[in-house]
Structure 1
Amino acid sequence: MFKVVVTDYEFPDLAPELSVFDGYDVEFVTGPFASPDEVIAACKDADAVINQYMPIDAEFITQLSNCRVICRYGIGVNTVDMPAATAAGIMVANVPDGSLDDVSDHAAALILALARGLGIYDRAMRSGKWNYQAAQPLHRLRGGTLGLVGFGNIPQRLAEKMRAFGMNTVAYDPYVNPERAAAADIRLVDLDELMRISDVVSVHVPLTESTRGLIGAAELALMKSTAILVNTARGGIVEEDALVDALRRNAIAGAGLDVFAVEPLPTNHELTDLENTIMSPHAAWYSEESEVEIRTKTARNALTALTKGQPIYLVNTDVTPRPQATTFATNGAVL
């Protein structure tokens, strides 16, 4: 029998995950746990750990005596200390393709809503004002430049969608294959040039030590006063204090934010007072379809790692996995 522990989750039930393990000899432990210590105690002898938001740091990882794989819901693995997991021989898995359309649609929606002043118009009308000038000045997207910070699957889809609105696209990504960018008709530029020439800057890089604070005061100062910034990646990539300052001074035209340095966003945060923002609660990934897909694939990562030796979506490809200590059986047959 294998033991699989879910550290935390915000779903009403775990039906999609349980359906993946149906017919297999698995002890599935889900909490809820009263404290982080209870989570660690439950995970100590787990063969696989499924994780949503709870940080799995180096100290946590030292407690995992049997664990072979940590499976993250979604794309980001910033909740897991990757070097510590790799050093311990623990595979880390994610779901890189569970919400590609959902996140790129959400980024496009934020761009369109900001470009057309929809947040300002909506608030004005709810307060009894009927005035087309409430959101001025507005500028056309057609002929403008979309700057993608990162050029993975999501920003590539966003570029395709915004091309329908007449936008040209540039991208900054030091890891991308130039031929891949050229095939998509995307010009690669350095970050400073992207910030200077873009009418829309959309952030799509993972949160790592090298990307934390990637867009700060210096980068924001390069932006056009008519430009907008959209972040559907991770909050720590953009320095929030610098962004608030730029928005207050109208140094940039607006920001569409789905992610924040601290989540949930604290009550009365400075961003909530700004008219030139549109915000959502880390929801870009969400649709009914994407939620089921992500949860199902997360569970399949765990099952596949335990039954076949490697998850479907392995992130730390340089890991030397721990030997498997547990014998797995299904329907009475040893695999």
Structure 2
Amino acid sequence: MRILAAGDHFVAPDLFARELAAEIGAQHHVERLRLPWPLTPFGPVAEVDEASGDEDTMLAALDGAQVCVTQMGPVTRRILDGAPDLRLVVIGRGGPVNVNLDAAKERGVQVCNAPGRNAAATAEYTVGMMLAAMRRIPETSAALAAGRWAGEYYTYDNCGPGLDGANVGLVGCGAVGSRVARALTALGARVRVYDPYADERVLRASGEPVADLDALLRGSDVVSLHARLTPETRGLLGARELALLPDGAVVVNCARGALLDEDALCEALESGRLAAAGLDVFAVEPPPPHSRLRSAPRLVMTPHLAGANTSVAHNAARIAAAEVGRFLRGEPLAHRVA
């Protein structure tokens, strides 16, 4: 069996290969390919999204391969057409958006993903982003590094709100949102959740279910996005929705940039209606030089890091290797999406 481990600078090819060897032994040949992500941001490749690398490189590496294990490698119709031996693609991430699932089904190629591999990391980061934005941590750190003791941030007007006793609205209650809810509850927040697709028991275990997004926004001191990006959720929070938030509210997005209208967010920050915001994701990554986000007040920005810690990389490789093991043993795949 020939296997391609198309890793990158986060889940490295050698990490995939080590987990594969632990799962299936060393008798199968594992070809290694390193893709440029995240040193080069992901983007569209042909008809797939959030991919790293190019079709020609993947085609050459897949020559004769029956299995492809990757995180960001593009698996387009052209690549599937040019890899007739391919039988299994395992994507070491939560969503297989870099795979043409229809083309894979047409060719009898099974596709698996790694749901939940970075849920804990993203949840931790989301709570950290809330605290950083609400408590002015980046501004005060930068001031002190520049040699200025920013005592004005201890004044009532500048110190910022806290999470204890705050009404926090979560949009989405999947693997990440439910973990965020547990952490916020431990910090004393009152958690309300909106997710029209989640099981009622999951919603009630996470906080107070709210059936209407507008109602959630009207009662939220902090709102955090945890929805998947779909045609339905694109632009989920625009100017109208942001205007429903109470004055002094905080918006956090560590999910997908296009869920949020960035111009409307900037206007709300510039007008003073929003107390702060935290973004780890953007509609265009990185934000272009002329983006209003770069000069918006009270905005904490990080370069799509929420799902990145060393545990996540190992989780992704282990989950992917386990799927390859099931495939080789003829067992049902645990996370098959196509």
- Kept in 2: contact 1:207–1:234 (CA 8 A): yes
Deviations 1:165-192 (A, max 9, x none): 2211111111111133224443233222
Select which of 139, 147, 152 maps to 1:133: 152
Residue of structure 1 in register with 2:18 after alignment: 19
Superposition map of 1:1-335 within 5 A: 1-6=1-6, 8-11=7-10, 13-22=12-21, 23-32=25-34, 35-43=54-62, 45-134=64-153, 136=158, 138-266=160-288, 269-314=291-336, 316=337, 319=338
For 2:103 and 2:266, how far apart are their aligned partners in 1?
34
Q: What is the TM-score when the length of structure 2 is the normalising length?
A: 0.82
For 2:262 and 2:13, how far apart are their aligned partners in 1?
34
Q: CA deviation at 1:48?
A: 2.1
For 1:241 and 1:59, how far apart are their aligned partners in 2?
37
For 2:173 and 2:17, how far apart are their aligned partners in 1?
34
Deviations 1:48-76 (A, max 9, x none): 22233344344444444233332222223
Task: Choose 109-118 or 132-141, whichever is displaced more.
Answer: 132-141
Q: CA deviation at 1:275?
A: 3.6
Deviations 1:30-59 (A, max 9, x none): 334785312133336432222333443444
SS in 2 for 1:120: helix
Q: CA deviation at 1:109?
A: 0.6
For 1:63 and 1:223, how far apart are their aligned partners in 2?
51
For 2:268 and 2:102, how far apart are their aligned partners in 1?
35
For 2:97 and 2:116, how far apart are their aligned partners in 1?
17
Unaligned runs of 5+ in 2: 36-52
For 1:245 and 1:214, how far apart are their aligned partners in 2?
16
Identity %: 30
Give the aligned residue type for 1:15: D
Residue of structure 1 in register with 2:40 after alignment: none
- Kept in 2: contact 1:16–1:296 (CA 8 A): no
For 1:105 and 1:265, how far apart are their aligned partners in 2?
24
SS in 2 for 1:71: strand
Unaligned runs of 5+ in 1: 320-335
SS in 1 for 2:33: coil
Q: CA deviation at 1:4?
A: 2.5
Instruction: From the superposition, tell whether residues 202 and 187 of structure 1 become closer, same or farther in structure 2 (CA, over 3 Å).
Output: same
Give the aligned residue type for 2:308: Y
Instruction: From the superposition, tell whether residues 32 and 114 of structure 1 become closer, same or farther in structure 2 (CA, over 3 Å).
Output: closer
Q: What is the TM-score when the length of structure 1 is the normalising length?
A: 0.82
Give the aligned residue type for 2:28: V
Deviations 1:201-232 (A, max 9, x none): 11112223332222223222222231111112
Q: CA deviation at 1:265?
A: 4.2
Task: Choose 69-78 or 32-41, whichever is displaced more.
Answer: 32-41
Instruction: From the superposition, tell whether residues 267 and 66 of structure 1 become closer, same or farther in structure 2 (CA, over 3 Å).
Output: farther
- Kept in 2: contact 1:170–1:189 (CA 8 A): no
